[in-house]
C-alpha cells in the first residue's frame, strides 16, 4: 500500500523529479554533475524537521529557481547552479 504524502512532501518529490528530468537534457558529463549535486542537496536537507515549514518552503522556492536556471541555460555549470 502506498503511503500518503503531505502537500509539501509532494512538492519536494515533484521538484526532485523535475530537476533530474531537466538534467537528462544536458550533455552526459554535465548531466552526471547535476545529478550528483541534486542527490547531495536532497540528502543534506533530508534531516530538516518536517514541521519546519518556513525553511522547507524556502528550499522549494530556491529549488524552483535553480530548475528554471537549469532549463534556460545552454552552457550550464554546477558552480553556477549553487
Q: What is the pLDDT of residue 76?
A: 57
What is the DSSP code (8-state) at residue 4? P
Measure the CA–CA gap between 62 and 5, rounded to whole angstroms.
Answer: 21
Q: Alpha helix locations (H) across the chain?
A: 7-23, 28-45, 53-72, 78-81
pLDDT tens digits for the chain (82 residues)?
A: 467 888 999 999 999 999 999 999 999 989 999 999 999 999 999 999 999 999 999 999 999 999 999 998 765 555 555 5
Do residues 81 and 69 touch, judged by C-beta distance below 8 A? yes
Q: What is the pLDDT of residue 18?
A: 97
Q: What is the pLDDT of residue 1?
A: 43
Amino acid at each position: 500500500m502506498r503511503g500518503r504524502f503531505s502537500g509539501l512532501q509532494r512538492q519536494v518529490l515533484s521538484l526532485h523529479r523535475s530537476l533530474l528530468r531537466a538534467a537528462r537534457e544536458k550533455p552526459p558529463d554535465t548531466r552526471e554533475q547535476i545529478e550528483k549535486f541534486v542527490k547531495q542537496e536532497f540528502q543534506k536537507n533530508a534531516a530538516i524537521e518536517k514541521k519546519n515549514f518556513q525553511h522547507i518552503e524556502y528550499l522549494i522556492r530556491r529549488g524552483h529557481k535553480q530548475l528554471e536556471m537549469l532549463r534556460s541555460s545552454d552552457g550550464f555549470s554546477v558552480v553556477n547552479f549553487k
